[in-house]
Amino acid sequence: MERAQSESDAHLVSRARQGDSPAFGELVRRHLRSAYAIALAALAIPADAEDVCQDSFIIALERLDECRDPDRFAAWLFRIVRNRAHNFRRYTKLREGAPLETVERADNAQNPERDAERGELRDRLSTAMTGLSEVQREVVILHDMNGWKHREIAALLGLPEGTVRSHLSYARRELRARLGTQLNEKD
């Protein structure tokens, strides 16, 4: 496990190309959350984002030989996720800002009070998110949920860092305005 975590993406890609299942599994484990965040930002529906995210890994494996720069596997994968999410949206003809679906959590039965509270926050957040554009959702989710840096988001979205900061600021302000004082803040 430690060996797998210390291995570069390029090395894991090389092994996965030869059909090494643990290597591909490590790539999935390493990038699953980020891929999901990108799909979620594009689709705004967690269940769809999960499906698209998982499909994207299968497509990535099928096209693994086309990944010219395995050191930048993550960026290549995220492009697949974004394209897949956009195609999915076009296919299902989802409207921008459709209400977010309720997320089924695995720990629902373990702490009903806490889960009810989270469910309420999730619903409020879902509604608030519909007021943002896709790029604003991408920026705020990647930054605040996944902890990406401004420059990483800028590189992925092909935007100047200043624009990313501006989108982040606007998205946070809008979400707070919509959520009011009940919003949980990390800082």
Partner 1 sequence: MTNDEGGSIDFGPFDVYADVERRDAAVARILGAAAPDLLRRAEVRSPVVMLARWSAPALALVTVIAGLSLMTLWRVERRAREVPLATVTEVLLPTPVSTWVSEDRAPSKSDLIMAVEGESQ
Q: What is the DSSP letter of 132?
A: S
- With respect to partner 1, which residue has the nearer C-beta, 2 or 107? 107
Q: Tell me the closest approach of the beta carbon of residue 162 to partner 1, in angstroms.
A: 7
CA nearest 22: which of 36, 33, 38, 11?
11
CA nearest 171: which of 103, 125, 114?
125
- With respect to partner 1, which residue has the nearer C-beta, 60 or 156? 60
3-state secondary structure 60-124: HHHCHHHCCCHHHHHHHHHHHHHHHHHHHHHHHCCCCCCCCCCCCCCCCCCCHHHHHHHHHHHHH
- With respect to partner 1, which residue has the nearer C-beta, 44 or 156? 44
- With respect to partner 1, which residue has the nearer C-beta, 22 or 92? 22
Please give the torsion angle defined by the CA atoms of residues 22, 27, 28 and 32, in that order, rounded to the nearest 10 degrees.
150
Q: Tell me the closest approach of the beta carbon of residue 104 to partner 1, in angstroms.
A: 9
Q: Tell me the closest approach of the beta carbon of residue 45 to partner 1, in angstroms.
A: 10
Q: Which two tokens stand for residue 10?
A: 């390029």
Residues forming contacts to partner 1 in the complex (CB under 8 A) are: 16-21, 24-25, 28-29, 32-33, 36, 40, 46, 50, 54, 57-58, 61-62, 100, 103, 105-107, 118-119, 121-122, 125, 140-141, 143-145, 162, 165-166, 168-169, 171-173, 175-176, 183-187
Q: Which residue is associated with the tokens 């519909």?
A: 130
Q: Tell me the closest approach of the beta carbon of residue 120 to partner 1, in angstroms.
A: 9
- With respect to partner 1, which residue has the nearer C-beta, 16 or 153? 16
